Amino acid sequence: MPRDDSVYIEHMFDLARRAEAKVAGCSRAAFDADENLRLAVTHLLQVIGEAARRVSEDFQTGHPEVPWKAIIGMRHKVVHDYLDVDEDVVWNTATSELPQLIEMLEPLAPPADQTQTE
């Protein structure tokens, strides 16, 4: 039985908030100097993209406000072109685009109490 889209949306939402929290209050210089932080944020972006890739086409079509292709494209870039990942893009995504994505996903994600009881 395939998983419900809500599982992937919730996962995207949770991971986006975690990535955003990792860079909160962090300067670009501090980000550049912290390899573990860069790797963690890059990995979180990869997993967000993987979850987005698994959201059904019907759900994606029904929610065109979410930049599905860009999110999935970031995953492909990190996974398949890992030697040429642009840290500027990772930083910009984490600091500028994730807050917008979180706002888009929040109304789509199932309530926290619903997912904890399932």
Question: Known catalytic residues?
Answer: 75, 80
Distance CA 67, CA 51 (A): 13
CB 102 within 8 A of CB 16: yes
